[in-house]
Amino acid sequence: MLYHAYELNHAAVGPLRQLVDLNKRLYESPYNPLSYTLAGRNISAACDLFEAMTRRYEKPAWRLNETSINGCAIPIREREVWRKPFCRLLHFQRDHNTRKAALGKDKADPRVVIIAPLSGHYATLLRGTVEAFLPEHEVYITDWADARQVPVSKGKFDLNTYIDYVMEILRVIGPDAHVVGICQPGPPVLAAIARLAEDKADYLPATMTFMGSPIDTRLSPTVPNRLAQERSYDWFKENVIYSVPWPNKGWMRRVYPGFLQLGGFITMNQDRHVTAHKEYFEHLVQGDCDSVKRHEEFYNEYLAVLDLTEEFYLQTILDVFQEHKLPEGTFEHQGRLIKPEAIKNVALMTVEGEKDDISGIGQTQAAHTLCSGIPDNMHIDYVQPGVGHYGVFSGTRFRTEIQPRMREFMRQYFNAKKERDYQNENPHLTE
């Protein structure tokens, strides 16, 4: 019923939003003398704030149209190279001829596969992450579907399916790629690579990097970790799972609604969000367009959320946050025990933020202990001072301090000749 109430509330506010929009146009009109007064600017700003707080935020566009190489603008084409009901794999393809001219030669670059988190936000939250890699890498990213838009006829999607998807993506991308798991994907991506290593697959990646991931949430537990421990599995099933209402495509699918996840995120930093919106109002009144634009760009992304399937969410709660199956050595995929120690030739890097309040210090580092089969000289652990969870994969310190370290780590295990030969033999990945 909560999901239906949410939809009804959104519909009920519709007429009021139209009235507020009319009022806003009135007080922004250059023909209205009041629009030049402080009172008029306050009314107009209040209308903007109301619109921003009652709008339903749709999935943002990627808006990655070009990158820069040696000062030259290189056009970018967004291509879908693989698709399943709950995910598609995107390739941000750089224009070959323009890139060749900018470099002065035809040069192969490492393939980076970013596994975006499936934890409430769209993959576009990683726009800055993708942008940082584009000049020197072939970048691929998982673009997860909103469960409320996937018909029930498409079947279920759980943590096992997630691992199947990652394994198939690695097969499609081919050997010696560089996999980056950001936040939530840590455990399933590690499990997928462990399965491939145990099966001696010939398309293992060259490196794997985990950033702010809940590999072992028993270490430095945060507020979300403690909440998952304090509440029982049955409590989550009974209190946060709802049926998607009609007329969504996923009508009757059981999901963990994105708006509930968003409510949890906001509650964790409520004072910060209240202050941000207060300052947004003041900047609107003052006509500070740059500050207004920065606020809107952030919240257009932050407030756009998707639903997670019941089975995926509950299995993640149980296996990752309550029973800690991966670090305990009891995690299974399709009935087979996951053995991280089977990974021998995939270099491992972990990245954590000093002030991360979602994945505490040590939770990602635990991957090094689990992957005992990897030689010591193929392990790198880095903790970024002064950043929280989102600063691990976005923002100034990511671009200037974290991404350059990841770049050097990947280049250390990059064979340009093998990459060029592979790309020539698999034109479907680059054409």
Please state which of the ranges 28-42, 209-223, 308-322 shows the lowest mean pLDDT: 28-42
Q: E strands along 99-202, which residues? A: 111-115, 138-144, 178-182
- Residue written as tokens 């947004």? 280
Share of the chain above pLDDT 70, in %: 97
329-350 average pLDDT score:
96
Q: What is the pLDDT of residue 417?
A: 59
Across 35-44, 130-139, 360-369, least confident range: 35-44
Answer for the pair 107, 163: CB distance below 8 angstroms, yes or no. no
Average per-residue pLDDT for the chain: 92
Over range 83-103, report the average pLDDT.
Answer: 94
Residues paired with residue 349 on neighbouring β-strands, in sequence order: 209, 380
Residue 428 pLDDT class (50, 70, 90 cuts):
low
Calculate helix-pair angle for 270-286, 289-302, nearest 10 degrees.
140
What would the pLDDT profile of 257-316 be if each residue is shown by its tens digit? 998 888 877 887 788 888 988 998 899 999 888 999 999 888 888 889 999 999 999 999
Q: 């034109």: which residue's tokens?
A: 427
Residues 345, 204 contacting (CB under 8 angstroms): yes
Looking at residue 295, what DSSP letter applies? H
In DSSP terms, 87 is beta-bridged to 84, 144
The gap between the terminal CA atoms of the chain, to the nearest Å, is 48
pLDDT reported for residue 53: 84
pLDDT tens by residue, 140-155: 999 999 999 999 999 9
Q: Are the beta carbons of 232 and 317 closer than 8 angstroms?
A: no
The set of long-range contacts for 405-411, using a CB threshold of 8 Å and a minimum separation of 24, is 405/351, 405/380, 406/180, 406/209, 406/349, 406/351, 407/133, 407/136, 407/137, 409/207, 409/209, 409/347, 409/349, 409/380, 410/110, 410/112, 410/137, 410/178, 410/206, 410/207, 410/209, 411/110
Express each pLDDT in 231-243 by its tens digit. 999 999 999 999 9
CA separation for the pair 77, 313 (Å, rounded): 33
List the domains of the chain with CATH numbers. Answer: 2-60+263-302 (no CATH), 66-232+308-429 (3.40.50.1820)
For residue 207, pLDDT beyond 90: yes
